[in-house]
Structure 1
Amino acid sequence: MKILLTGGTGFIGRRLMSHLRTHHQVSVLSRSPTKVYQRLGHDIEALLSLDELDNLDQFDAVINLAGEPIADKRWSPAQKERICQSRWQLTAQLVDKLKAGSAPPKVMISGSAVGFYGRQGDTLVDEDSRPHPEFSHEVCARWEQQALAAQSEQTRVCLIRLGMVLGAEGGALKKMVPGYRFGLGGPIGSGKQYMSWIHIEDVVNLILFLLEHEECHGAFNATAPEPVTNEQFSRCLAQVLGKPHFARIPAWSMKLLFGEMAQLLLNGQRVMPVRLQQAGFHFRYPSLDKALKETLSAMLKT
C-alpha cells in the first residue's frame, strides 16, 4: 500500500512509521525534509508541500496526524489561531488534492481528539454523545467536517478522536513524571474530572486496523475502555513509580498559569471506545496499571 502521512515526525507519527515502513511505501509531508531524514531515515520520501502534487491518485491511503499541540502553551489569540490553522488549513488542502483526482485514495484517516465533546462531567460518552460548545469542540468539529468532505463512493473517511496518549517518547506523561519522581505529583483541582487515555501502541494498532477494515468509516473514540478520574490516574502513577501521593495542585494555580487552557486539565470526559469495540478491535493495554508500567519501563531505557 502506498500511503501519504502528515505529522510523521511527531510523537504518534514516529511510532506509527516503525510499523508502516516494513509493509508499506510511505511518503511523509513535512515542512522540514531534514527532520524527516533525521528522525525517520533517508529511505523515506519527504514532500515539502502538497503543491508538488496535482492530486493524490498515486496513494492508496492518507493518514493525517499533523497539528500544533493544543496543550503546550497558554491560549493567546495568536496561539489559538496556530492551533486552528495547523489543523484546518492542511486538512482542507489534502481534501482538495484528493478530490482533484479521478482515482483517489481508498481511505483517509484523520486525527481529532476527545476535546470534540467539551466538558462532560462524569457522564459516559460515546461517539453519538452531544458535545459541549467550547474552544476544543470548535477546533475538532471544523477539523472533522473538513476531513469528511473527502468522503465519496471511492474514499471512506475515518476520524480518530484521541484521548491522552501514553508513550515513552513524548506526550503529557513525559512532562508529568519528573514531578512524581520527586514526590511532588498529585491530582489537579478536585481530582474528580475524568481522564480518557490510550497507550501509544494501541493508537498505532487501531490506525492499522482502520486501514485494513474496509467496512469502517466515521468517528471512532481512540481511548482505552477504562477511563479514570484524575485522582485515580495520579494515584496509580505514584504507585507504579513507588512514590508518595499526598500533594495536590489547586485549580486556581492552574488557571493563573495557563488561563483558558487550564480547562483541558480541570474538566474532562469519560469517553468509551464503543464503535472500535463493535468493529472488533482489541486493546493490548486496556488497564491503566499495565499501560503505565510498560510506558515507564520504556522511559528508563530511552
Structure 2
Amino acid sequence: MSERFQRSVRIARSPAEVFAWHERDGAFERLTPPWEKVKVQASGGGIRDGGRVELKSKIGPMWLSWTVKHFDYREGELFCDRQISGPFAQWEHRHRFESDGAGGCVLTDDITYELPGGKIGAKAANFVAARLDRLFTYRHAVTKADLEIAPARTGRAVISGASGLIGRALVTFLRTQGWTVDRLVRRPAKAPDEISWDPVRTTVNWPSEYACDAIIHLAGAGIADGRWTQERREQIGRSRIEGTRTLVGAMRQLATLPRVFVSGSAIGIYGDRGDTLLDETSPRGEGFLADVCHEWEAEAESAATLGVRTVKLRTGLVLTPAGGALGKMLPLFQLGLGGPMGGGRHWQSWVTLDDWLRVCRHVIETDDIRGPVNVVASEPVRQRDLANVLGAVLNRPAMLSAPGGVLRLAFGQMADEALLASTRAHSAVLADTGISFLHPTLEKGLRHVLGKSSTQP
C-alpha cells in the first residue's frame, strides 16, 4: 500500500534563494541529522535531471544501500528524486519551492513511498512515518536557520582538521553559505579542493598564485582519545603547536595575506575554577590543558604580528551525537545507565555544533572581533544538571553516578582536567557583538541534536 508524508516550512527568503541553497555543494551532508549514520558512496549531476546519489544508511545493525536519481528539475520551483534501488518497494520525493506572497518561501517536502513485504512490511508503517517526522523536523529547522542568517560576506577559506568532527561540519556549512572551501590534507592532494601540508616538516604546498580570505586551523590530536601517557601528552601539545607554526609561516609565502586567521583553542585554558564566572579577560588557569592552550594561542598570535586579524576560539563542550563527549555518553544514557560524574557539582560550559558553526562564521565576517572568544552558550550548567536533562530528553533515568575515584583510576589525569574540572564560562565578546544562539538552553540544544521534540518518545 502506498504511503504519503508531507511537511512544509516557511523561510524568510525568496524561493530562488532557497532553491539555490539546495544546489550548493554540501547541502545533502548539511541536512543529514547527526544521529543518522549515512555514507555517500558516489554522487554526480547535482539535483538536475539525471543526477544520482549512491549511499549507505545504517538501520539497526545493518547497512542498507540506496540509489536515487533526480528528475523533473525546474529551476527555482521544483526538483525530485526517485529510488532506483534501495530499502523501499517504491520511493518518490518532490521538493517544492513556492512564494508565500510576502517575499518568503514555503518549502514543501512531499514523499510517496511503499514498504516492501506486503502486509508484513506494512506493519512497519508507523515506524517509518515516525523516522520521517524526526528527519524532516531536523532538516527544516536547519534549512530555515541557515538561510535566515544575515547575508554572508563570502570568499575563500582554508581549513585544517577538515576531516575531524567539527571540521567536516564546517566545510559543508560554509559551502552552503556560499564560501569556497579548500581542505588541508596530510598526503598528496588528489581533489581540486585539497592542499597538501606537512606540519612536521612545516610545509604547505600552496597552488601557484593562491589567495584566500580566511585560514581556519582546527587540526590537533584528540584530547579524550586515550589516557594521557607522556607520549600522548607530547602528541596533544606538539600537534597543535607545530600545525599553528606551520600555517603562520606559510602565510608569508602568499602574495596577499588572508583577512583573518582563526585558530582553535579551548576553555580548558581556564583550568578548574569552581564557581567563578569566566570571560575572555579572565586569567589562565593551571594544569596540562591550560598550558597547552596557552602555548597554542601564543603561537597563533604570531599571525597578528604579520598584520592578520587573529581570533582564538576557546571552545566548550560541543554537543553532537556524532562524536565527542556526547557521543561517548549516549550509549549508557540510552540504556538508562547514565548519571552525573564525580558528584556532578562542577560546571560544564557547552554549545551545540550548529551554534559553533554560526559563531565561526560570525567571527570570520566581523572585522572588529580579534583575540580570544569563548564559544559557549550563555547558560553553563552543573554536570549533574546536564545528566538529568539528557536523561529527561531521552526519557531514561539518569541516577547511576560515576565516582571521581573510579574515573581517575580509569583515565588518570585526564579525569581531573577533562571530566571533573569546573569551568563556568560565558562570552562577553559574543554578547557585545549581538549574535543570537539558536539553542540558548541545554534542553533545547539536546532536543535538536538528538531529534527529540517534546512530543517524541
Considering the TM-score relative to the shorter chain, is it more than 0.5? yes
Residues 1:183 and 2:332 aligned together: no
1:228 aligned residue (365, 381, 387): 381
2:183 aligned residue (22, 28, 36): 28
Residues 1:58 and 2:211 aligned together: yes
Q: Give the direction of change, closer, same or farther, for the CA distance of 1:24–1:122 in structure 2 (3 Å limit).
A: same
Q: Which residue pairs with 1:13 in the alignment?
A: 167
Report deviation, 1:32.
4.8
Distance in 1, matches of 2:306 and 2:188, equals: 34
1:52-98: per-residue Cα shift (whole Å, max 9, x none)?
13999612110001111111210000000110011000100111111
Q: Which residue pairs with 1:273 in the alignment?
A: 427
Gaps of 5+ in 2: 1-154, 453-457
Q: Which residue pairs with 2:194 in the alignment?
A: 45
Give 1:27's aligned amino acid.
Answer: D
2:267 aligned residue (99, 114, 138): 114
For the pair shown, the structure with the greater C-alpha radius of gyration is 2
Distance in 1, matches of 2:356 and 2:244, equals: 20
Runs of 4+ in 1 over 4 A off after TM superposition: 54-57
Distance in 2, matches of 1:146 and 1:114, equals: 17
Within a 5 Å distance, the mapping from 1:83-122 to structure 2 comes to 83-122=236-275
Distance in 1, matches of 2:237 and 2:209, equals: 24
Q: Which residue pairs with 2:399 in the alignment?
A: 246
Secondary structure of 1:58 counterpart = coil
Distance in 2, matches of 1:84 and 1:51, equals: 20
Secondary structure of 2:414 counterpart = helix
TM-score, normalised with respect to structure 2: 0.61
Q: Which residue pairs with 2:232 in the alignment?
A: 79
Q: Which residue pairs with 2:313 in the alignment?
A: 160
Give 2:420's aligned amino acid.
Answer: L
Higher-helix-fraction structure: 1
Larger mean CA deviation between 22-31 and 245-254 belongs to 22-31
Percent identity of the aligned residues?
36
1:109-166: per-residue Cα shift (whole Å, max 9, x none)?
1100000101110110111112222100000000000001101474100110000000
TM-score, normalised with respect to structure 1: 0.92
Distance in 2, matches of 1:142 and 1:155, equals: 19
For these two proteins, the number of residue pairs brought into alignment is: 292
Larger RCO (CA under 8 A, 6+ residues apart): 1
Asked if structure 2 preserves the Cα contact closer than 8 Å seen for 1:124 and 1:272, the reply is yes
Higher-strand-fraction structure: 2
CA RMSD of aligned residues (A): 1.9
Distance in 1, matches of 2:209 and 2:355, equals: 28
Asked if structure 1 preserves the Cα contact closer than 8 Å seen for 2:334 and 2:396, the reply is yes
Report deviation, 1:240.
0.5
1:8-47: per-residue Cα shift (whole Å, max 9, x none)?
111111111112223122211122569xx8xxxx563342
Report deviation, 1:104.
0.8
1:134 aligned residue (282, 287, 291): 287
Distance in 1, matches of 2:205 and 2:448, equals: 41
Asked if structure 1 preserves the Cα contact closer than 8 Å seen for 2:196 and 2:204, the reply is no
Report deviation, 1:48.
4.3
Larger mean CA deviation between 47-56 and 221-230 belongs to 47-56
1:287 aligned residue (437, 441, 447): 441
